[in-house]
Amino acid sequence: MGFVPLDVNIKKIIYIEFVNLRVLLIHGGIIMNRLLASVFAPIVFYILSIPYGVINYLLFGISIANPFPGIIILYIYSFPFFFIAGIPISIIIDKMNIGWRWVNYSVAGGMVLLILVLKKYFEHGDFYLDTDSMFAYLQAGLAFFISLRLCELMFQKLYKKYEGGQLDT
């Protein structure tokens, strides 16, 4: 048995860990997809809310706000919601695996709205549910699903390229 210098073993360990990390990044995984989806979901949510704003403008004359500050404000307020609530709820939805996923995500957004309305009712005694909130929370659930599905497709495509040897290791 020969003695192998310590720096050779460390280089080998670092290389193995780098390859494992790269496979994890390319393959995705349960949490990786959801983390990226929570980052992109506010942007998708803003894009989904544009037709609703246009319809409100055409039907009711409610003006559309300037889009640039609107997306920043929406991102600041909705990202924590998608990050804190969206990730665990999406794991639960995918573990249940009942019916169409996009419907389940939209229903989950509606259930979050219902929980918040009931919380407000028990704290302050007023029960108020408007149509804007109903559409917004349903759209939020759908936005998380769309961004999650895009991340899943992206990771699947990258993983196929990695398995096919088209990506450098």
Q: Which helix (H) or strand (E) holds 25?
A: helix 6-27
pTM assigned to the model: 0.73
One digit per residue, pLDDT tens: the chain, 169 residues?
444 444 445 555 445 555 555 555 555 567 788 888 999 999 999 888 888 777 777 887 776 666 666 778 888 888 998 899 888 888 888 888 888 888 888 888 888 888 888 888 888 887 777 777 788 888 899 999 999 999 888 887 877 776 666 655 4
